[in-house]
Chains A and B, each alone.
Chain A
């Protein structure tokens, strides 16, 4: 893969990086002082609430808000009329507008139709009941396979499929087709000794962050505004809101609150434009907090999917060809990220002949948002199920067969690029050599072990970091990404490492949109990589400036000064004999040497290193009730370089836990009426403590050439293998190969009964 060779830390002994200090935001969090989205109050604020559609698909014939407006305490009611279409041909922004507030039609159960601001929550809720909406129901479709059939109701009018040669002449729900691969799969399958093809489905899941969406917005008559919001990307909130409301970006300052989980679900706007519009109309600040039911009905979910996968192999296990057709339910606008699924499906393997086709399909379900390695868990479930079935039928060792086929440096990936140094083989070998793999499974009935691999691209992108140096020897580090996985700690560590000062001397803050240049969203496992890289470079910028000040103080050339262990020193005896100057000394004296000292770095970080992991799961199945118990679980993953190993382990464990929840229990359940049946934690069951064993995390470090310390993003890959690992473990335990996720007790029991 073409990457700048930035990695330079080979053999470097780190002082701070690799240690496990307590996070700087830790005490705030354990004492309840950390301020999340709903914890901010603006003077005079109103409370905003959203009216949502009970229909999956309907025309809006009329909306009468007069009774709501007349209710004492109501200060503003808005409908789509209050958000004129300013998208100017930008389809993405138009979809955003429609999703924010339905226009002529509602597209899913939970679609926002109107919003109210009132002096209390209870008055706002009462006002919602007074809004009269007349709907004319339209036929709906919520299942991807149904939506692809001829004669299916066209969602949002349907679309001419993009990516088809020749382009279709008729509209359908297939909004886009994607294809990747190389070689000749027909030839590859002809060469195979064994060919296995299977169909799979996965249900939609929600990111399930515990903090509901929340914001407080205020906008003045002159267009100056502020939003305090729980988001993964406050710059994106600014971009979207200013476009939807016709504001100057510079006038809208967005401050990211502490974020109570996002996992991709808080990469998009939902209530933020509504809060601003309500504030504009009422001329008061407006606070909006979603209920849990709104979170489920109106935000987030992943695509549901229907996947067909075919793999051929020689008797020794060498894969000769792989083909997958992947259909993703893409919500009412598309954008299911099925292209990423089609790219990721076979990314773990070195394949001579491979083809993937992805279809993005419109359905009457909520607009989708990314969920941790979006698309990869579903396609990997299909791939790893078939790979395991081939292993089993050929009587091969699961790890050895995968090692034989694993991609390596120089492999042309199934999605195009040629890999640089990567860790798939290393994670497989680590798994094979680990006691979990060699130990016999603890004795018991209906127990089994499964393995699966997974891949994620990882991203970099636009990043801007600033570092102010203080006269007492401390450093104020500003970056522009909400801290979702401990990045305040990891960036502080990298700054301390580079500057040669203790970790405790760095205070890391997330700057608002008025303070730094643009920063992309906290997504794609990008922050420790990209903001880390920028932090290191900003520190080097500051060091260069400090060395220049020392040179000036000493009256020697700038290039005769070096920086070592937090001090400027003469480069050698030829440079002169001077006592080293500490950061503190240099900055304290900076008023006499040219003024304040700060380091900056702005970059489009394009050297993100791809990431691979391998998981092993041991399960027990209760064959009379279909209940699965996870007995043991181990994650092996390449971190490139683990800056804070405890947080890397935390990502591995947390991602695996989400994947296990998805594999076993979590699902959006739609009734025939097109309405979501389980919009709450009561019936959307995420794992609790007793559902999970202590998930063991094994960190491997294969440096990423694109980062000075070798960092790779680690946050997303851990959710990729669990669906496949759990399915393979259940197959080993019961002889039943599940083609559908979740493998909940009712589904699994049915499959066991059908086999018996």
Chain B
């Protein structure tokens, strides 16, 4: 077993920063920056990952990208071994502005200025991404929209900010580069992110084990501990619900849980794999799943959040579980009593209740996959706002048609019940039948056997039922004609447009 470190150390704006041992492990990065360190440039607008005013940029030396993340939903120990750049540290050796800042000035992209540091950091992350990994080719409007969907501005109507996002690439690239300096600094001080971490103080405990066996052992000793993936949800338990979280175990460093493999017939997604890390591959195999991920959360949330966490927290909506259920995925659990496998839908027992034994945790999800560019999977996310919104209804359809006959139908929904679930009656009404509008129409009433949705602030039960039915009709139209709708997206990851 590798050495275990009992304190948190990371690079903050290019300098080694050791976190005092008294800092509670549940302290968010935002609180820590603003209240403990007095770095006030990073703003708090919502403290729940919705507004992006607290966006900072995180890098890991071994990772290829600069990631914009929300500081309000990151716990300080999660930054261990990483490099954090905040707006307070974004300037050149003589105080020069970065092109993203200069462009915001020139395009009048800042009005009241409160959201501006967050936008600046999102733009900075995009700038680095484009310059380092996409040959400096300016992004499309759609990519800009995708990157900025996690930042709210109430003053500008966004036009001037989009103009700044375009303008910054026309400005000379600075010779100074805070993120590259950070990487060099990493090497210079020999900071190893791959140490096992065990931080304990009077306020709580935080573990980041390196190996699966370590994780199992920790869970055996502490079955009531909270597992942390990207913490995009768990931080709200601390921030909003003020729930005590005495023992936290992060999956982020567990080698086995970080694995993401795509072999013959099967894709395996480790529980600690982030949306960001899985996105390109998932989109390559199921183009429409890529569009679902593009609309899921925001850039900042996708950079932190994990697919395993999305399954494990048992949200009634998903968004990933319905898609993975439609694909026939198997969930792999592990724990003190050993490994278990089950069809994903069997994991969700009732609202807030999953089939999980004491100490058990999600290890991976395995997805059958046979071909790339499989457009039979369609994921229709229905929300009030198109991007960065929680789904009112999420319908995922995966039908196989042979010689005009439905040979297999897997349909799963989120938002239609207390748990994400399959529409088995609808599936049964389709399977073995000719793939015609008459079959579809005959299957529609079956939705009422499968689901009794609820009304809430996001949608009424009537709306949910009606859209669920309409989505099957839409699926039929899309699969049998050239008609494609915006819900499907263009089937290509935005970033691919730039890479091409």
Contacts and interface: CB of A to CB of B under 8 A. Distances in A.
A211 B43 contact: yes
Contacts of A121: 35
Contacts, number: 227
B492 interface: no
Contacts of B34: 38
Interface string A542-563: 0000000000000000000000
A263 B154 contact: yes
A87 B38 CA distance: 40
B162 interface: yes
Contacts of A485: 111
Contact of B50 (A31, A484, A680, A687): A680
B114 A211 contact: yes
22 contacts: A23-B110, A30-B97, A32-B41, A36-B114, A209-B154, A210-B153, A211-B114, A260-B114, A292-B45, A292-B47, A624-B470, A627-B386, A650-B155, A654-B154, A658-B154, A665-B384, A681-B48, A683-B457, A689-B387, A694-B159, A694-B162, A695-B157
Interface string A580-608: 00000000000000000000000000000
B149 interface: yes
Given A22-B105, A30-B105, A681-B152, A746 B90 contact: no
Nearest to B111: A650
**In the complex, which of the residues A625, A682, A691 has the most CB atoms of chain B within 10 Å of its own CB atom?**
A625
A629 interface: yes
Given A22-B106, A32-B43, 12 more contacts: A32-B88, A39-B40, A211-B114, A260-B45, A261-B155, A626-B467, A678-B457, A690-B149, A691-B387, A695-B159, A745-B384, A749-B466
B110 A30 contact: yes
B46 to A, nearest CB: 4
A749 B113 contact: no
Contacts of A694: 159, 162
Taking chain B's interface residues, is the majority helix, strand, or loop, or is none over half, making it mixed?
A: loop
A316 interface: no
Contact of B467 (A27, A291, A681, A749): A749
A289 B45 CA distance: 11
A692 B158 contact: yes
A33 interface: yes
Interface of A: 20, 22-23, 25-36, 38-39, 41, 121, 125, 207-212, 258-261, 263, 289, 291-293, 484-486, 622, 624-627, 629, 646-647, 650, 653-654, 656-658, 664-665, 669, 677-678, 680-683, 685-692, 694-695, 744-746, 749-750, 753
B481 to A, nearest CB: 13
A688 B144 CA distance: 12
A694 B160 CA distance: 9
A72 to B, nearest CB: 15
B146 interface: yes
B187 interface: no
Interface stretch (B251-259, B280-288, B388-396, B407-415): B388-396
B458 interface: yes
Contact of A753 (B43, B387, B466): B466
A689 B148 contact: yes
A372 B138 CA distance: 36
A656 B154 CA distance: 11
Contact of A745 (B53, B113, B382): B382
B105 to A, nearest CB: 5
Interface residues of B, number: 81
A260 B101 contact: no
Nearest to A20: B108
B23 to A, nearest CB: 13
**In the complex, which of the residues B43, B45, B47, B155 has the most CB atoms of chain A within 10 Å of its own CB atom?**
B155
B64 interface: no
A83 B354 CA distance: 50
Nearest to A26: B105
Nearest to B149: A688
Given A32-B40, A486-B111, A681-B51, A27 B105 contact: yes
A646 B108 contact: yes
B113 A750 contact: no
Interface in B456-489: 456-460, 462-463, 466-467, 470-471, 473-474, 485-487
Contacts of B113: 25, 28-30, 34, 258, 260
B436 interface: no
Contacts of B291: none
Nearest to B116: A29
A30 B107 CA distance: 12
A261 B91 contact: no
B311 to A, nearest CB: 20
B470 to A, nearest CB: 4
A373 to B, nearest CB: 15
Given A678-B457, A745-B463, A653 B159 contact: yes
